[in-house]
């Protein structure tokens, strides 16, 4: 029913795409063909040639309800009938206020103030600005550096890149021109491993050494996502919380990837019982429908910033609090939490997916090309010994009817929560086939 394209149309589209359209982290002209997709429905992508693929990526971890969800479609359609967008300077609107109220409700109690950003990267940028403006307003402008752990990923803007890994990571090209931040080693071991006392000492002594210049501590809770799909001990997150308290600086948690149930708890920080002072959410916020993220902070941080120089937070994007995005985000959160009365239960969905991932991926442990296989919540990861040939792996998974996008030495899935056990098993079969090919 979805107009598949004929081979000539597909070739024309691909030729122009290759020659003129940048893709993420890609060269220009493109080095490989991207796969044209013409529709998406449920958990499946419909390709231009008519094939369908289970989306094991949830569109970069966002489409937790799958595609064309009737409730989400209706939320967008209803809002289009009112207004698609209005500026947020001097105006406000019901979808933004409703979404802010849901976020204040769903996040830990001290987080009461909501800044709407237009992407995850921008929400981290805003969090960093909050920390810097906060310190400045307290009369401590020398506290302008971020303390973090290597191996994280927080986005692609300049401030974001500076807290990822400017030396070993994907942004090393910018080493030398980024703000110089303070880095501890990557958290050692896995989620369930005993915390390493030597590492806890390293965190503490590094923070002590730089105490007077730290503006805030920033980290992804428990899962370092795009930086390497590492799961680390909740004890390290508690240690970061303690350090933030000890040094009197805010703890910023980037829940963009982990938020909304992905790691098995509603917030990644719930694994550790930790509450941040500033928190970033994005990706699944709108169920993957539209681009929107948010930065939340405590009343105290908001007060200090607002009473400081400038009298407010120095940020205000054109598309801030876009009403379509806010409406679909409200619908998505209501669906996710069962507040719309439809009885969905993210916890049951994620734990069912987790069990199938555990089961299905177990046989990859010990394969010659596999270094580690790990599962946390609805995240399944095969870490390979060597970097993978991405197109070759994708060819295998696509022949199993599954879309994945491996990177470096990681073949992983973050499926939509609405995947059935059979669909998740299809994904693990594709991953096993990929791992066996190594
Ligand atoms: N922070 C984390 C933890 C992420 O995983 C990402 C995206 O992968 C970002 C920030 C950046 O978000 P966006 O791609 O929406 O700018």
Tell me the ipTM for this assembly: 0.99
CB 384 within 8 A of CB 8: no
Kindly state the percentage of the chain with pLDDT values over 70.
Answer: 99
> For residue 231, how many other CB atoms are within 10 A of its CB?
23
Identify any residues that bridge with 54 across adjacent strands, giving them in sequence order.
Answer: 44, 402
Considering 236, 270, 283, 412, which one is annotated as catalytic? 283
Taking the CB of residue 291, how many other CB atoms lie within 10 A of it? 18
User: What mean pLDDT is predicted for residues 240-259?
Assistant: 98
227 is in an annotated binding site: no
Determine the Cα–Cα distance for residues 251 and 275; give it in Å rounded to an integer: 8
Specify whether the CB–CB gap between 216 and 249 falls below 8 A. Answer: yes
- Catalytic entry in 165, 254, 270, 277: 254
Q: What's the pLDDT at 343?
A: 65
Strand partners, 388: none
Backbone angles phi, psi at 180, to 5 degrees: -85, 115
Structure tokens that stand for 213 in this block = 């210049």
Is the pTM for the entire model greater than 0.95?
A: yes
- pLDDT value for 338: 86
Looking at the DSSP bridge assignments, the partners of residue 111 are 298
Mean pLDDT over 260-280 rounds to: 98
Cis preceding-peptide flag for 29 (omega within 30 of 0):
yes
At 399 the three-state DSSP class reads helix
pLDDT band at 340 (very low <50, low <70, confident <90, very high): confident
- Report the chain's terminal Cα–Cα distance, integer Å: 37
Banded model confidence at residue 3, pLDDT cuts 50, 70, 90: low
Give bridge partners of residue 413 from the DSSP assignment: 380
With b for 16 or more beta-carbon neighbours within 10 A and e for fewer, the 78-116 pattern comes to ebeeeeeeeebeeeebebbebbbebbeebbbeebbbbbb
Q: Is 415 close to ligand 1, i.e. is its CB under 6 Å away?
A: no
Which residues partner with 278 through β-bridges?
252, 297
Domains in the chain, CATH or no CATH each: 7-68+345-436 (3.90.1150.10), 74-337 (3.40.640.10)
The answer to whether the annotation marks 60 as part of a ligand binding site is yes
Query: In Å, how far from its chain's centre is CA 414?
Result: 11
**Which tens digits make up the pLDDT trace of 74-110?**
999 999 999 999 999 999 999 999 999 999 999 999 9
Decide whether any atom of ligand 1 lies within 6 Å of the 288 Cβ.
Answer: no
In the residue annotation, 232 being an active-site residue is answered as: no
H helix and E strand count, the chain: 13, 16
* Token couple for 22: 């940048």
């Amino acid at each position: 029913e979805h107009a598949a394209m004929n081979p000539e149309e597909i070739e024309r589209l691909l030729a122009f795409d290759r020659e003129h359209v940048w893709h993420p982290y890609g060269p220009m002209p493109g080095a490989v063909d991207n796969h044209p997709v013409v529709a998406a429905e449920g958990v499946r992508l419909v390709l231009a040639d008519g094939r369908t693929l289970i989306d094991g990526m949830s569109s970069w971890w966002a489409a937790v309800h799958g595609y064309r969800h009737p409730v989400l479609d209706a939320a967008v359609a209803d809002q289009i009938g009112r207004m698609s967008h209005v500026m947020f300077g001097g105006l406000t609107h019901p979808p933004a206020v409703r979404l802010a109220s849901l976020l204040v409700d769903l996040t830990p109690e001290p987080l009461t103030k909501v800044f709407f950003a237009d992407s995850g990267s921008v929400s981290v940028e805003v969090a960093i600005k909050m920390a810097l403006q906060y310190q400045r307003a307290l009369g401590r402008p020398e506290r302008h550096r971020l303390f973090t752990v290597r191996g994280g990923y927080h986005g692609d803007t300049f401030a974001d890149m500076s807290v990822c890994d400017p030396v070993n990571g994907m942004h090393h090209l910018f080493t030398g021109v980024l703000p110089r931040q303070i880095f501890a080693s990557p958290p050692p071991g896995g989620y369930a491993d005993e915390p390493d006392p030597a590492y806890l000492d390293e965190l503490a002594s590094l923070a002590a050494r730089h105490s007077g210049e730290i503006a805030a501590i920033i980290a992804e809770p428990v899962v370092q996502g795009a930086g390497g799909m590492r799961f680390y001990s909740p004890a390290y997150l508690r240690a970061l919380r303690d350090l933030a308290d000890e040094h009197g600086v805010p703890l910023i948690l980037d829940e963009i990837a982990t938020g909304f149930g992905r790691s098995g708890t509603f917030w990644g920080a719930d694994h550790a019982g930790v509450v941040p002072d500033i928190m970033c959410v994005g990706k699944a916020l709108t169920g993957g429908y539209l681009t929107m993220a948010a930065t939340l902070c405590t009343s105290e941080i908001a007060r200090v910033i607002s009473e400081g120089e400038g009298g407010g937070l120095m940020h205000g994007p054109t598309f801030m609090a876009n009403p379509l995005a806010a409406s679909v985000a409200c619908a998505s959160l209501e669906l996710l939490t069962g507040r719309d009365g439809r009885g969905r239960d993210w916890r049951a969905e994620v734990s069912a997916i987790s069990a199938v991932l555990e089961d299905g991926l177990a046989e990859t442990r010990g394969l010659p090309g596999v270094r580690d296989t790990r599962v946390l919540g609805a995240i399944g990861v095969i870490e390979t010994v060597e970097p993978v040939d991405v197109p070759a792996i994708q060819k295998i998974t696509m022949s199993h009817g599954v879309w994945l996008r491996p990177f470096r030495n990681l073949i992983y899935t973050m499926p939509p929560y609405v995947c059935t056990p059979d669909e998740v098993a299809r994904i693990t079969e594709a991953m096993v086939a990929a791992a066996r090919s190594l």
